[in-house]
Amino acid sequence: GTAATTGASTAASTDKGSTLNVVAVTACPTGIAHTYMAADALTQTAEGRDDVNLTVETQGSSNNTPVAQSVIDAADAVIFATDVGVRDRERFAGKPVIESGVKRAINEPDVMLNEAVAAAKNPNARKVTGSGAAASSSSEEAGGQLSWGKRIQQAIMTGVSYMVPFVAAGGLLLALGFLFGGADMANGWQVISTEYSLTNLPGHDVEVDGATMTFERSGMLLYIGAVLFATGQAAMGFIVSALSGYISYALAGRPGIAPGFAGGAIAVVVGAGFIGGLVTGLLAGLIAMWIGSWKVPRWMVSLMPVMLIPLLTTLVVGLAMYFVLGAPLAALMTGLQNMLGGMSGSSAILLGIVLGLMMCSDLGGPINKAAYLFGTAGLSTGDQASLQIMAAVMASGMVPPIALSIATFVRKNLFTPAEQENGKSSWLMGLAFVSEGAIPFAAADPFRVIPAMMAGGATTGAIIMAFGVGSRAPHGGIFVLFAIDPIWGYIAAILGGTLVATVLVITLKQFWPNKTIQEAAAKNEKEKAAAAAA
């Protein structure tokens, strides 16, 4: 995604008469692949046009440089290609805006640039309003462009994207705690991490709650393991609050953060888990947004975001959770956990198949993200069933890029030159669990690629569940093997799914040929032959 931010400082100054300045923001829930693919698609398309001068701000998960305010001020229109709320949206207030999901910018960048040009020239075009992280403009000027359903989906995805780093840090630290301190770490980590120190290391026998426990490890390893485990537990303790707080933030802006976090903490206390966090986040965001829309006297305006909105919203969410919602949500969560915990044999394998199909059906789209949310949110409970669901989700998502990469090496002539080029690097994306590496293949030939990938994903999900493989890490693929148990089962599942997906995609392309791809491949072969003859 490096091309994406290059024009930041110079774009505004190079105005070429009739050239319009457009600023785009791209962002996807995990902030990894789609964010930068959309940025590259828009940048490359704009470079081939004379009428647009584009600057892109990628709001991904890594270090992002915001576009200078002077560039935004000089912009004639803005494009928001995001599946989550736009950060610091108020910087763009008053600018004509084109808004869509991030996938549209990858698939039809030219159309979006045309729409931005049209919006810049239209005095009645929809404008950005400054309130809220994912706030769209008021309904009468929005022209119904972002529906309530879409805004709530965006808010949930914003919550997930902010929650994942807590899960990643916490889950991997817990795995390291087990690695250093041994498998019985979970029983005595609190006592060991607080009552011992580097100068007073624990032995094998430690007193826990009045009873003596014997640990398999002792001394420095046991102490370091306990400290890592305690740090991981602290990070994991924030998962539900972060999910709730940032869902609320996406709907109501900064005033929604405190009530959202408080609601998430209450959800944990009453036992409503991540389902409670989802509900409190939406509730806090909508209430804070509503209170923020009140017409208040001038002297109260400055008190609203800092004091009154957080106070009133937290009060309402707290009362609602304790009086009404807490018990039914806790019962729902307990029911879900019991159902998952009781799954064994064929029912567990069936769940693995369903998760595998979901992960590979739209490769990073809403269905894939729903399965991913189910996997990561369950990690907050830490039970074996949730760890297996996470393993099935991650392993299935790794299959498509690896399988397609292998297919391009095995049967080159079934793929276009561009696909062959993509195949050289997509295996690495697959190993790192970036399913989006398969998108170029699926976009070019969906009817052959997607069913083959879904079959591979379903195979992997089934094998993971059959072997009872669990993962404490929500991301990282092959690079977090120490957080996965048993490792052999995980690798077997990925190999099995990859084999199925590769064989199927080659078979489908062979016996049900895609004319366009065949022609492109034949043309390429002719050019090569001509070049060799010359």
305 plus 440 within the same structural domain? no
265 plus 401 within the same structural domain? no
91 plus 29 within the same structural domain? yes
How many angstroms separate the CA atoms of 236 and 515, rounded? Answer: 51
Position 61 scores a pLDDT of 67
How many angstroms separate the CA atoms of 388 and 252, rounded? Answer: 35
439 φψ region: left (φ > 0), alpha (ψ -120 to 50), beta (else): alpha
242 plus 371 within the same structural domain? no
Which of 120, 146, 172 terminates a domain? The answer is 146
* DSSP sequence for 15-42: --TTPEEEEEEEE-SSSSHHHHHHHHHH
Position 442 scores a pLDDT of 87
In 228-380, beta strands by DSSP E? none
Which of 84, 117, 146 terminates a domain? The answer is 146
* Within a domain: 335: no
- Structural domain of 20: 2-146
One of 11, 22, 25, 28 is an active-site residue; which one?
28
DSSP state of 486: S
* Within a domain: 24: yes
DSSP state of 255: G
Render each residue's pLDDT in the chain as its tens digit; 534 residues: 333 444 433 333 344 457 889 999 998 876 667 788 888 889 999 988 888 999 999 887 666 788 889 999 999 999 999 887 788 888 898 899 998 888 888 888 889 999 999 999 888 888 887 654 444 433 333 333 567 888 888 888 889 888 888 988 988 898 899 889 887 887 889 999 999 999 999 888 888 888 888 888 888 999 999 999 999 999 989 999 999 999 999 999 889 999 999 999 999 999 998 899 999 999 999 999 999 988 889 888 888 888 999 999 999 999 999 999 999 999 998 888 888 878 778 889 999 999 999 999 888 777 888 888 888 888 877 788 889 999 999 999 999 999 999 999 999 888 888 888 889 889 998 998 988 888 888 888 888 999 999 999 999 999 999 999 999 888 888 988 988 989 999 999 999 999 999 999 999 988 888 777 777 777 777 777 888 887
Q: Would you say the C-alpha torsion 106, 111, 114, 118 has a positive or negative sign?
A: negative
In the block, residue with structure tokens 């899960």: 167
In the block, residue with structure tokens 């929650």: 163
Q: Would you say the C-alpha torsion 171, 174, 179, 184 has a positive or negative sign?
A: negative
183 plus 320 within the same structural domain? yes
Position 14 scores a pLDDT of 41
Q: Quick one: tokens of 377? A: 């949110």
C-beta of residue 501 within 8 angstroms of C-beta of residue 452: yes
Pairing label, strands 77-82, 97-100: parallel
Q: Quick one: tokens of 454? A: 């879904």
DSSP state of 61: S
Backbone angles phi, psi at 132, to 5 degrees: 75, 155
* Within a domain: 466: yes
Which of 113, 146, 179 terminates a domain? The answer is 146
* Within a domain: 333: no
How many angstroms separate the CA atoms of 192 and 326, rounded? Answer: 34
161 plus 301 within the same structural domain? yes
* Within a domain: 386: yes
* Residue 28 among the catalytic residues: yes
Position 215 scores a pLDDT of 87
312 plus 348 within the same structural domain? no
In the block, residue with structure tokens 């039809």: 108
The per-residue b/e assignment along 190-224, b for 16 or more CB within 10 angstroms, e otherwise, is ebbbeebeeeeebeeebeeeeeeeebebbeebbbb
DSSP state of 512: S
Position 143 scores a pLDDT of 34
141 plus 155 within the same structural domain? no
How many angstroms separate the CA atoms of 38 and 101, rounded? Answer: 10
250 plus 219 within the same structural domain? yes
Structurally, how many domains does the chain consist of? 3
C-beta of residue 462 within 8 angstroms of C-beta of residue 359: no
204 plus 111 within the same structural domain? no
232 plus 132 within the same structural domain? no
Whether pTM exceeds 0.85: no
